[in-house]
Amino acid sequence: MKRRTFGAIGLAAMLLASTAFAENHAPTLTVGAVAPKTGPLAGGAAVSYWPNVRLWIDDVNSRGGLMVDGTQHMLELIEYDDQTNPGETIKAVQRLATQDEADIILPPYSTGLNLAAAPIFNRFGYPMITATATVDDTKALVSQFPNVFISLGGAKPITEGVAQVLSDLRDRGDIGNRVAMVNVADAFGIELSQNARPALEAAGFEIVYDTSYPLGTQDLSTVIKGAAGTNPDAFVAWSYPPDTFGLTEQAQIEGLNPGAFFTAVATAFPSYQARFGDSVDGVLGIGGVDADGEAFQEYAARHEDVTGEKPDFWASAMVYSSFQALEQAIEAVGTMDNEAIIQHIKDNSFDTVIGTLDFDENNNNPAFWTVGQWQDGLFHGVASTGREGAAEVRARDAN
Amino acid sequence: MTDGGGMDIIITGLVLGGTYALIAMGLNLQYGMARIMNLANGEVLVVGAFVAFWLYTAGQVSPLLTLFVVAPLAFALNWLIYRFMLLPLVRRAKSQGQLEVDSILVTFGLSFVGVGLMLAFFGGDYFSYSYLARPVRIMGETYGLNRIVAFLGAVVIGGLLYLWLERTRPGRAMRAIAVDPKSARLVGIDVPRMSALAFALGGTITAMGGALLSTYLTLDASTGVLFTLKALVIVIMGGVGDLRGTIVAALLLGLLETFVAAWIDPGLTLAAAYLLFVLILLFRPQGLFGRKA
């Protein structure tokens, strides 16, 4: 923690110094970033979003800057806290565009805040490659805001991925047919569970327990007792960070230890592993990466080096890859002509830390990880819609 | 939904009630006795939790030992806050209403300062660790040992505080300033000093609660406001200025939420809690143990 404080102070000093000196030496580009530093989503943004902003700025600047108009431009970062409040997100983007005259504005964090900010990004004409928004109907969104690109994937493929992974386990004889499912009662949990019900039933599973709990609930012993009472073969939770931790701990206490145990957001966080240690082995979670892949390994090492924190095994690399796509598009176009940059993103594919990023006709990235699993200390992607490097799913030692 | 009988639900509910008591007892002292509606209460709780997290992850120090580090620090910090930021408001306030408005504004600002400082020092990441996350069997049912320990902590803290308020001279003086600060002065009670003590003690209990809760809750720098809200609801339900009211309200809330989760639907726990709050406000606006104004 100390290291991080010094890191932050050092970074601030560096930025101040770079503005002071850069004026004389090299031209600069202003980069704006808006995301939660406070409020309900601050914890997630602190893991998956902010470190990647700093890493990307550091990476670009340490290789000499961004090549625009034939000269190298150093990047200068302006950060705003939107307090997890969509109104604040919109205001901050507006401020970046009009007062700070930002050359580049990075997309905000989370589905809700990205959707809220899409119109204002569109109004000012900035490209917006979101890596933290779960959107199913990208066609409708993009026909309205053609500057928006979606890379994280949608609820339907994710739930189908879960159904597929569970089917694989069942077909191998590792688990039976009974699924206990719970969800956090907010937009994310409701949408995922609504998609999961038909997907699981189509795959021949019987949902023996199905309930929700309010956002922010951490006292989940009744929920886990209820699930354990139905003696399930698989436990699936569409959960958020505080409750992902709460459900996992409570399941261990209650001895709810089925052959497949799935929790959603935060399962891929390093702090999940730090808290639960070796007992995470075999736990399934939303998302994933090619954890053994050279690109990810190299990225993870740099992430830890520059920010002092480990990346998570899902959204972190997605966020960084979206910045890389933007960076490559800007350099390919060679000017800060946003319209041309947006067209370039539509027409080309990009080589990133998650592999090739290639948007389809609906500005949607069709290839993403849907399910991962903790295996021997790393969270490996085990199911995707076309990513390479999937590990084979393993059964947990059930009892 | 659980097949477990009533006993299981009662124990789970009481344990949850203990959690709520840890969140709310400190605010009761601050609001009921010192007359400061402290909206930065939750931030103090998060600081207590963070210290426990930090000492545990950095040096494997048991959170139960951390309590003895957190307590004097929190006492000193809260005493200083009262002495330098709130006492001037108390002195210039012409009425209880004015003090309430002023203290709400100041402590609301303080809560932002608290969140900002925590972000600067700890970062925005979640902090959680695993401590005593083992099952214990009580009457044939399993419970998390960390929750049981926190519940016992709540019993000990609540019990000592109650005895102190009921049986000792300073405790009696504190109850006197809760009932009527003006008359308390007439019988020779140093009201500003007792108020400072009540405020500091309230902050101490909140921070100790935070250290205990950190053994099973996942927190980050900006979660404080959730605890402030919960504490506020419990203190108002129980009756301002009466410790018994806060404890009874906390246990009631814990039992109610657990009953609803077990027998109706876990999705309705919050709705049930606020329904109870509304009913109490409608039919007993002074709170369960409160005195009519």
User: What DSSP string runs through chain B?
Assistant: -----HHHHHHHHHHHHHHHHHHHHHHHIIIIIS----TTHHHHHHHHHHHHHHHHHHH---HHHHHHHHHHHHHHHHHHHIIIIIHHHHHH-SSHHHHHHHHHHHHHHHHHHHHHHHHHHH-SS-B---SS--EEEETTEEEEHHHHHHHHHHHHHHHHHHHHHHHSHHHHHHHHHHH-HHHHHHTT--HHHHHHHHHHHHHHHHHHHHHHHTTT--B-TT-HHHHHHHHHHHHHHH-TT-HHHHHHHHHHHHHHHHHIIIII-GGGHHHHHHHHHHHHHHH-TT-TTPPP-
pLDDT in tens, A343-380: 999 999 999 999 999 999 999 999 999 999 999 999 99
How many C-beta atoms surround the C-beta of residue B112 within 10 A? 14
Instruction: Tell me how many domains chain A contains.
Output: 2
Clarify whether residues A218 and A358 are in a common domain. no
pLDDT at B151 over 50: yes
Task: State the smallest CA–CA distance between residue B261 and chain A in angstroms.
Answer: 6
Task: State the smallest CA–CA distance between residue B255 and chain A in angstroms.
Answer: 12
Give the mean model confidence (pLDDT) for residues B269-273. 92
> For chain A, what is the mean pLDDT?
90
pLDDT at A216: 84
Q: A9-23, A112-126, A196-210, A365-379: which has the minimum mean pLDDT?
A: A9-23
A194-233 burial: b if 16+ Cβ within 10 Å, else e: ebbeebbeebebebbbbbbbbbebbbbbbbbbbbbbbebb
ipTM over 0.85 threshold: yes
* Summary count for chain A: helices (H), strands (E): 14, 15
B1: confidence class by pLDDT, cuts 50, 70, 90? very low
pLDDT at A4: 45
- Cβ-defined contact of B218 to A246 (cutoff 8 Å): yes
pLDDT at B6: 81
> Which candidate from A42, A253, A275 shows the least CB-CB separation from B129?
A275
Clarify whether residues A235 and A252 are in a common domain. yes
pLDDT at A137: 83
- Cβ-defined contact of A43 to B19 (cutoff 8 Å): no
Clarify whether residues A261 and A341 are in a common domain. no
- Range 312-351 of A in CB contact (< 8 A) with B: none
Clarify whether residues A115 and A161 are in a common domain. no
Give the mean model confidence (pLDDT) for residues A45-56. 95
Residues of A in contact with B119 (CB under 8 A): 37-38
Clarify whether residues A245 and A349 are in a common domain. no
Q: Are B196 and B79 in contact (CB under 8 A)?
A: yes
Two tokens, residue B132: 């005593």
pLDDT at B4: 52
User: Strand A369-375 and strand A284-286: pairing?
Assistant: antiparallel
Clarify whether residues A363 and A376 are in a common domain. no
Give the mean model confidence (pLDDT) for residues B231-250. 93
Contacts for B5 with CB less than 8 Å, ≥ 6 apart:
none
pLDDT at A347: 95
Q: Which chain A residue shows the shortest CA-CA distance from B225? A: A39
Two tokens, residue B13: 């509910």
Q: Are B284 and B276 in contact (CB under 8 A)?
A: no
Residues of A in contact with B144 (CB under 8 A): 221, 249-250, 253
Range of the domain at A356: 2-154+292-368
Report the percentage of chain B scoring pLDDT > 90: 75
Q: Are A254 and B135 in contact (CB under 8 A)?
A: yes
Mutation for B interface: A253, A256, A303, most B CBs within 10 A: A253
Give the mean model confidence (pLDDT) for residues A34-49. 92
Clarify whether residues A346 and A379 are in a common domain. no
What is d(CA B216, CA A218) in angstroms, rounded to the nearest whole number? 9
Residues of B in contact with A38 (CB under 8 A): 115, 119, 124, 221-222
pLDDT in tens, A214-229: 988 888 999 999 999 9
Q: 3-class SS at A28?
A: strand
Report the percentage of chain A scoring pLDDT > 90: 81
Report the percentage of chain A scoring pLDDT > 70: 93
Give the mean model confidence (pLDDT) for residues A79-105. 96
Clarify whether residues A12 and A143 are in a common domain. yes
Mutation for B interface: A225, A267, A279, A309, most B CBs within 10 A: A225
Strand-pairing partners, residue A210, are A181
Clarify whether residues A113 and A42 are in a common domain. yes
- Cβ-defined contact of A254 to B135 (cutoff 8 Å): yes
pLDDT in tens, A148-205: 999 998 889 999 999 999 999 999 999 999 999 999 988 889 989 999 999 999 999 9
- Cβ-defined contact of B130 to A275 (cutoff 8 Å): yes
Residue A62 φ/ψ region, left for φ over 0, alpha for ψ in the -120 to 50 degree band, beta for the rest? alpha
pLDDT at A211: 94
Residue A398 counted as domain residue: no
Instruction: Report domain extents, chain B.
Output: 6-283
Task: State the smallest CA–CA distance between residue B45 and chain A in angstroms.
Answer: 16
- Enter the pTM of the model: 0.88
Clarify whether residues A12 and A133 are in a common domain. yes
Q: 3-class SS at A213?
A: strand
pLDDT at A251: 95
What is d(CA A290, CA A250) in angstroms, rounded to the nearest whole number? 30
pLDDT at A39 over 50: yes
Clarify whether residues A379 and A240 are in a common domain. yes
Two tokens, residue B113: 């300062």
Give the mean model confidence (pLDDT) for residues A16-31. 63
> For chain B, what is the mean pLDDT?
92
What is the CATH classification number for the domain harbouring A267?
3.40.50.2300
> Which candidate from B125, B218, B222 shows the least CB-CB separation from A245?
B218
pLDDT in tens, A63-77: 999 999 999 999 999
Residue A395 counted as domain residue: no
Give the mean model confidence (pLDDT) for residues A251-257. 93
Is domain B6-283 given the CATH code 1.10.3470 in the classification? yes
Clarify whether residues A276 and A204 are in a common domain. yes
- Cβ-defined contact of A213 to B8 (cutoff 8 Å): no
How many C-beta atoms surround the C-beta of residue A62 within 10 A? 9
Give the mean model confidence (pLDDT) for residues B94-121. 92
What is d(CA A312, CA A267) in angstroms, rounded to the nearest whole number? 9
